[in-house]
Amino acid sequence: MDDADPLAGFRARFVGTESPLVYLDGNSLGRPLAATAERLRRFVEEEWAVRLIRGWDERWFDLPLALGDDLARVCLGAAPGQVAVGDSTTVLLYKLMRAAVTARPGRTEIVIDRDQFPTDRYVAMGIADECGMTLRWVDVDPTTGLTPDQVAEVVGERTALVVLNHVSYRSAWLADTAAITRAAHDVGALVLLDMCHSAGVVPSELDAWGVDLAAGCTYKYLNGGPGSPAFCYVAARHLETFTQPIQGWMGNTDPFRMGPDYVPVEGIRRFLSGTPAVVGMLAIQDMVGLVEEAGLHAVRRKSEQLTAHAVDLADKHLAVYDVEVASPRDPELRGGHITLSHPRMQEVVATLWERDVIPDYRDPGGLRVGLSPLSTSYDELERGILAVGEVLGALA
């Protein structure tokens, strides 16, 4: 399978892939690119050290928007001027949720499912308390996820915002974003899409789907490194009317004038607040370039094949230990990972880590196999699944 893989050559561009370590957690933290080490060195020695404060005028000030446009073009299906990079995912989710509910005065409900990623739920809870709103919880099957029919049943004239994960963090369920967006828009509500588990591995069409707002991290399939800044998308039709709650100097008109009043600048820059993390954006540039070179649709094809092979291997080698596949079996209905369920998976993952086999664990009893198509080989995947079986056999 590796010999027949048209993307196999990209694996050598990642640091560490030549080692025997098995890394099956690319949906939590992607491997670093070798090119990034050189980019960081050049930045420190040639740009930061030589240009110093002049760097802001020459490149850094516009980097959050320039990188946002690249990310929009390569991965998000969005026209220029709608994506900015900066802040953490949590901060951006707060900004976007707060902007959305402010833009729908008189509406009192936020719709969100109970299996949504924890940060999304916690931020929504805080905003509901802050604004005197109600959360309309949707119960979903944790092996699948939120469906358009479920959304249509709960939205109404009180709904201000629907928050959904593009890919479920637990099951990898791939939401029908276009249909859910239509259901929300039919009642005048807005939609916020969390793309943390899809950006860089699942092609998206934010503009075509009609999504209002989106946010996602860059350290998973975009390989930006631990804590690399997240991105936000605000549809062009909202940019002149939506306001975000964290008013900082970078989002102000004429920020270097240091004037007495805050007047939000035109365009997506108004969703920036403080000084952007320039160093944190460097690795993202490398990975966006690599995804563009490989082609996101080719990345998606390999992702589907990798996850399908993982399911086949689990059926062949792990079902005997009563391991269940807790993800959709149809590759078109899941993102870039699968979850394998067993009551003792927490012990299994701890033992695997000691053996340099690195998946991750999510309650209840879920071992996640995260497959980053440009850095993960079929051989690596097979060695990992066989190791899971060896550990389960020893525990039996």
pLDDT at position 165 is 97
pLDDT at position 142 is 86
Residue 62 three-state SS? helix
Which is catalytic among the residues 23, 61, 169, 219? 219
Residue 396 has pLDDT above 90, yes or no: no
Distance from C-alpha of 194 to C-alpha of 115, rounded to nearest angstrom: 13
Percent of the chain scoring above 90 in pLDDT: 97
pLDDT, average across residues 291-298 = 98
Percent of the chain scoring above 70 in pLDDT: 100
Check if 302 is active-site: no
Check if 117 is active-site: yes
pLDDT, average across residues 42-51 = 97
Range with lowest mean pLDDT among 18-27, 207-216, 252-261, 273-282:
252-261
Superfamily in which the 8-31+295-395 domain is placed by CATH: Aspartate Aminotransferase, domain 1 (3.90.1150.10)
Contact 157, 189 (CB under 8 A): no
Domain boundaries, the chain: 8-31+295-395, 39-291
Confidence label for 69 from pLDDT (cuts 50, 70 and 90): very high
Which is catalytic among the residues 95, 98, 107, 220? 220
Which among 283, 299, 117, 116 is positioned nearest to 200, based on CA atoms?
Answer: 299
Check if 219 is active-site: yes
pLDDT at position 257 is 85
pLDDT, average across residues 78-82 = 98
Instruction: Count Cβ atoms within 10 A of the Cβ of residue 288 and give its class: 0-12 exposed, 13-18 middle, 19 or more buried.
Output: buried
Residue 357 has pLDDT above 90, yes or no: yes
pLDDT at position 35 is 97
pLDDT, average across residues 236-245 = 96
pLDDT at position 294 is 98
Confidence label for 256 from pLDDT (cuts 50, 70 and 90): confident
pLDDT at position 393 is 96
Residue 258 has pLDDT above 90, yes or no: no
Contact 76, 206 (CB under 8 A): yes
Check if 220 is active-site: yes
pLDDT single digits (tens) 299-356? 999 999 999 999 999 999 999 999 999 999 999 999 999 999 999 999 999 999 999 9
Which among 232, 262, 259 is positioned nearest to 248, based on CA atoms?
Answer: 262
Contact 132, 162 (CB under 8 A): no
Which is catalytic among the residues 94, 117, 221, 242? 117
pLDDT at position 283 is 98
pLDDT at position 307 is 98
Which among 94, 298, 73, 345 is positioned nearest to 207, based on CA atoms?
Answer: 73
Does the pTM of the predicted model rise above 0.95?
yes
pLDDT at position 246 is 97
Residue 285 has pLDDT above 90, yes or no: yes
Residue 179 has pLDDT above 90, yes or no: yes
Region of residue 271 (left: phi > 0; alpha: psi -120 to 50; beta: else): alpha
pLDDT, average across residues 237-250 = 96
pLDDT at position 325 is 97
Residue 169 three-state SS? coil
Tell me which CATH code domain 39-291 carries: 3.40.640.10
